[in-house]
Structure 1
Amino acid sequence: MLAAQRQSAILDAVRSTGGVRVADLVDRFGVSDMTIRRDLEMLSDRGLILKVHGGATALRPGATEEPGFAAKAELHQRQKDAIAEKAAGLVQPGTAIALSAGTTTARLAQRLTAVEGLTVVTNSIPVADLFHRAGRPDQTVVLTGGVRTPSDALVGPIASAAVRSLHVDLLFLGVHGMSARAGFTTPNLLEAETDRALIDSARRTVVVADSSKWDVVGIATIADLAAAHVLVTDDQLPDEAREALTHAEIV
């Protein structure tokens, strides 16, 4: 296969799934790691993709563009798994927790199905489905109603009203973006409202977000950085992000 053909196929993969990993491309095309990285560099130089650690994603979306759950689930899988593993350690048996929508919170949910006696409040259809399929009789899952978004969240007045009547020990909040200027953000106005209700319902808020979310800004601010008590992320945050988070007194 010629380099131009391979790069075209890589571009098609990025556009159809939202992102690709170098290791997967090496296996797919049977070429070296260096060759794939060179291909990604050329596509990036042409303004067709965004290079990230370990692969590439589609160009950063605008403030109102909301990728689907399946596309986002393919991105930064190693980082999300590590974040979910760390966050799961914060949950004690028998507590009441809330999980917002998102692919990172869904990975966390996979691990929490093993925790005894949980009560789980969520506006995420995939999260609720994970607990339902686990079938534990000692766990209670409360799924809010609401309007379904492309990322499989239930949002809007019905979801927000349901959340406001509840009180949980911990909220695990997934976000579209985070920045010193805009705080934690989402591309969906109704989702911002529902996420704010989730924050208000919780004694402590834990944001789970990989480093690619830094300096991404959606149209609606969910909350300032200081609204989070804890941020669980990976080790690729830039220095400016660490300074902003320290200033906001986030652990």
Structure 2
Amino acid sequence: MNRKAFTLIELLVVIAIIAILAAILFPVFAQAKAAAKKTAALSNLKQNAVAVLMYNTDYDDVFAQSAYSMAPSGIVVPGSGAQIFSIYDAIYPYTKNKDIYMDPAEPKAIKWKDVLASIGLQPFQNGGNTIEFASTAINFAVFEDPSVPPNLAGNDPVVSESSLSTPVETAMFFSARYIGAGVLNPDAPTGTPNYRNPAGPFAAQNFPGTARHTDTIVINFVDGHAKAFKRNAGLPGTAPDLHYTGAANIIKAYNLPYDVNGIPDLVAEPRP
């Protein structure tokens, strides 16, 4: 029995159909993949929020510090080589999974080990659970850091969870990346309440919110929920004002990240 072979025209028609289907389906697959990463990022931040609340329950309703030195003094001294115990280390016993500190869309956005090494410090050594990378930054107004001494005005004590008037609107962690160390000039105007923010590499403006999920920033809150916000969408907050040199705006500390608040976005999309 003779089989008729495809003609060139028939073959070209088949190829054209395949190309059309690919053009239709590939974007759908890409969107599905992006949606899955966004869902995973939200889940990670939800788990982080729950871990913080569990920590607070065990430690008299008080949030952990953002970081402190494992040196006997507890003071962060650049160049000392000391291990730094971060907020990620503080809540690790409640998560038992350092991977949830990383966003699947950009798992090493914040190279914590390199940030510390740049000022002669190192991460807290916890064997295979040493935390070297993260994809989220923190609201310094919640996770106070009385151990960082230089260039601070009004270095506040740790924060009590019950002291927050609107936990549902108070951000804790948000999708971000590290863009390099700048120096924060503490020039708060007279009467500015609770002005504080770490200088140098730990300054909050070095960790801008990053819209890596279809132009949204993933944020969790003190009440335990997590949500994706459109960039420049406006995030309500409850903290006293902070004043930053060179900033056109007075920024409410609980209103982080910056580009949710209308301040020009520093990093809109992940770097390659």
TM (norm. structure 2) is: 0.26
Where relative contact order (Cα < 8 A, 6+ residues apart) is larger, the structure is 2
**Larger strand percent:** 1
Structure number with higher helix proportion: 1
Larger radius of gyration: 2
TM-score (norm 1): 0.28
